[in-house]
Amino acid sequence: MQENLPLDVIIELTNCTIWQQDHLVLSNVNLSVGKGEFIYLVGRVGSGKSSLIKTLNAQIPLKEGIGLVAGYNLTKLKKREIPYLRRKIGIVFQDFQLLIDRSVNENLEFVLKATGWKNKKEIDIRINEVLEKVGLGLKGYKMPHQLSGGEQQRVVIGRALLNDPEIILADEPTGNLDPETSEGILKLLTDISKTGRAVVVATHNYTLLKKFSARTIKCDDGKLVEVKDEEEMELLQ
């Protein structure tokens, strides 16, 4: 069942506890993210960044607290509702997860068909639209191995945009990329947030944080803490 969120808020977590199986990861989590907002999620490896992202995407069930994401209540979410929630969320992984035996176009077509698209002409139009958006308009015929790491990540971002999601969750999207390519990916994600989508980027790349400054939330000692000023940002490194 969908529930109403406050106007312009797309993610609202209140007094949430995040568990990874029987291991307590984060407690007393409070987070509000607006439509069109770009935020960083930072913290050491194992601090809970990925667990939080998996909770927002309903990969990890939320058992305690109130979690509203794109109009769905995570604590009351029924199994059959999960695919509908996930259509409102685009996921960008560090390791691409492209199908290596299919072209870029076929990778994107696979996702559209899996989410209910049937009309071939509409599928082709949508694929062309997202590839143009991510700067790969002429690369649809290529196989993943024929693309650079940055181009592969642009395909992944395009894939995340296929169903016009309200939220993009990016888990270490520049983890395998060189600095210049990483900047291009971050610029693309910030541009996407300007189209009204909430973008949450989990990262430990503090150089990018300085270059593309935005609201920053830190997973630290089992808590979620907002990083308020430059001095605190320096301490992150």
The burial class, CB within 10 Å (0-12 / 13-18 / 19+), for 100 is: exposed
* pLDDT for res 5: 54
3-state helix/strand/coil string of 138-195: CCCCCCHHHCCHHHHHHHHHHHHHCCCCCEEEEECCCCCCCHHHHHHHHHHHHHHHCC
Looking up tokens 């191995």 gives 145
Side chain identity, residue 65: G
* pLDDT for res 195: 92
* pLDDT for res 233: 57
May I ask the CATH class of domain 37-59+86-236?
Answer: alpha beta
Q: In this model, does residue 28 exceed pLDDT 80?
A: yes
For the chain, the domains span 37-59+86-236
* pLDDT for res 228: 80
Whole-number Å distance between alpha carbons of 167 and 90: 6
The tens digit of pLDDT for each residue in 149-206 reads 999 999 999 999 999 999 999 999 998 889 999 999 999 999 999 999 999 999 988 8
pTM of the complete model: 0.90
